[in-house]
A and B are shown apart, each in its own frame.
Chain A
């Protein structure tokens, strides 16, 4: 069985990560920009990649830009925003066919890299100002994107839990920024922020495919003239003591109540007990054999979904379920009770084995997709620790029952959030 490995090369202002593999019929390039989450810049930062994606100096309209991508056998190109702990990540992703599988031998990977260089270094701008019309259109689209969170109740309740739970922390800053701040951004301000991000962010370039590492490194070095920089680091280990667990209920006109519970794990990626936390989460709520699925759904028929997940860089455990309003007390008590059982060590060796097998499988499956591979490797770049994939799998298999119980003991309830249809009745 092959476990993927990345090769890392340092260039001025960025690290190039390459994975050579002949598994795929396409090549994938992802460029990630990382900066600390900051309230004052967040809305500009959420707008910027969409303006860059819209058009460029050479392809000055979306029609021209997208037509060119179609020429390249329909290369897909998109930007997206995410949070890893208290960092904000902007990703530019391009997937392009490998000409080996086409009757037309045009070398596509180089063209793909050139295209991304055009997007990042040659925006549609003049006199230190982005094209006004593009910015206005993208501002409108950003406002709609921010607003759409409200209309998807599952996303909304997850978002509200974090907002309440991490009120005083940078982690509560929304990835898409604030709607009220969008209008006041000018094309000139945005350009100034672009230059700041371009020169200060931590930049990682990932290229995965059936490639020649040296050749690709040559292209990246000449095409990506990032400047040398000092990366701003933030303290990842800031612990947040929970004084008293909060309970928040919000009423909206909806049929199904959305229950979201946040816990502090006090463990982050790179810690010795991170692997025990992963196994804990698998037994507790990560899968369809887990305690939450079995007890909330299969045993009590309270929900269609009941699951937990870990936020690796901030140290959170998040539980979510959709239930009838009148079952609120019952569901909360089952979820907390199952956690107590974990703390008391009431889980079997069989559950541990089963969970390790599924985690192992999940990781190997993730490495079968180019984007999955990149996301897995990026955890290392974000945290500044380096975990090899083979070691990751080994460490999971070595986790003991005591370690799982110990890590469960560190978990503290912070906030229970319930989005409910009406108060007191179903």
Chain B
């Protein structure tokens, strides 16, 4: 077991990769009641074309299957795993993103027991035709719920504008039609391909003894027979650099309008420190352009084009990435035009070093705030790790970012061909 210390933060992280390939991280937190634990596979909604374990040919599976599998893993022959967790005083949950599926619990007692329940239920699938059919009704309601949600529709509408081929454009839960094709055999095929320990990461944060827990996990894994496994082959179609559609307007049953401007990213095949620096530079760039201390924000707010729902964000994963800017607005066309103009101006702008220093301070403060949260640490550490980055490099990397880095980020990111707009407007 390796110990990695972060002196400024006063934290120690313990790490070991087990014989079957599973990566285990433990971060002891003194003074906390709660232990939070995530068990995550590097498998999400975009992984829909791959060579199955023991197969030789690529196969394509129905949209929404990773999320469906996440739901179904909770059900066992003798009932629902939620019941076991709550009997042990824990609250359990799971989520599926574009690139990851995570199972988690938090508890303030019976932690060892809960940890074992978590590992064992994820490593012991039980799918039947009957339970698969039953789940279609429940997930169908989940899909319909999102269909009525204007913010979700706006978000996905924007991604669909950007991507022509990449499966990031597919709604994570799929559609009622696509999930109707899912069978128990498909679930097993995906499960065996993507839930091998060598594709997974276990993270524990809480008032625990790292040595004791590492031993327990090793004993647990030692009892299970996993064969060595080669790298998973995933396939993604070639994606053009420019956006698929420049604009989309969704008419919905709403009173107010919403508007998002998106930029399809380049440099989406980076990993490690290079990716970390790129991601942080773009985030700082967006802060400089649109944070509530920026001139642009003041201009948009005074013009009555935005309110406190205004936000911006940058996402980057393997093979895709995008920036999004916008919110509720009284005039979606005027807002999108103004934002686009501000973006284009940023390409040639001279960034002020005082503002950059201030923004860097803000980012460092935000990081301290975030590491108060065990959930943030476990989820983000896992995401960073799957991309070859280290969460605890965030502060030192921010400290290194220069005005030049920001200028370059703006030049590289912002280009008319890669900008698109999505709006939600009232029907009548």
Contacts and interface: CB of A to CB of B under 8 A. Distances in A.
A1 B110 CA distance: 13
Contacts of B304: 137, 140
Interface residues of A, number: 78
Interface in A329-381: 350, 353-355, 357-358, 360-362, 364-365, 367-370
B88 interface: yes
A394 interface: no
A70 interface: yes
A74 B139 contact: no
B82 interface: yes
Contacts of B141: 256, 302-304, 322-324
A74 B330 contact: no
B20 interface: no
Given A62-B298, A289-B83, A301-B137, A97 B256 contact: no
A304 B304 CA distance: 38
Nearest to A64: B293
A21 B33 CA distance: 13
A101 to B, nearest CB: 6
B365 A367 contact: no
A365 B106 contact: yes
Contacts of B374: 368
Chain B's interface size range is 35 or more
Contact of A73 (B87, B361, B372): B361
B134 A360 contact: no
Nearest to A100: B10
B297 A25 contact: no
A365 B86 contact: no
Contacts of A361: 34, 89-91, 106-109
A160 interface: no
Interface in B127-167: 134-139, 141-142, 144-145, 147-151
A101 B149 contact: no
Given A2-B31, A145-B307, A101 B372 contact: no
A365 B307 contact: no
A151 interface: yes
Nearest to B295: A63
A75 B292 CA distance: 13
Given A62-B301, A70-B358, A145-B307, A301 B149 contact: no
Contacts of B301: 62, 137, 141
B90 A369 contact: no
A98 interface: yes
Contacts of A154: 145
Nearest to B294: A63
B328 interface: yes
Given A71-B361, A304-B139, A22 B31 contact: yes
Given A70-B358, A150-B255, A289-B82, A2 B33 contact: yes
A148 interface: yes
Contacts of B358: 67, 70-71
Given A73-B365, A354-B87, A255 B31 contact: no
A153 B134 CA distance: 26
A368 B33 contact: yes
Contact of B86 (A23, A133, A305, A357): A357
B309 interface: yes
Given A254-B253, A369-B373, A350 B108 contact: no
A297 B369 contact: no
B149 A152 contact: yes
B364 A302 contact: no
Contacts of A370: 372
Nearest to A3: B33
Interface string A272-296: 0000000000000001110001100
Given A71-B361, A289-B82, A302-B137, 9 more contacts: A67-B293, A75-B365, A103-B8, A144-B256, A289-B80, A298-B80, A357-B89, A361-B34, A365-B33
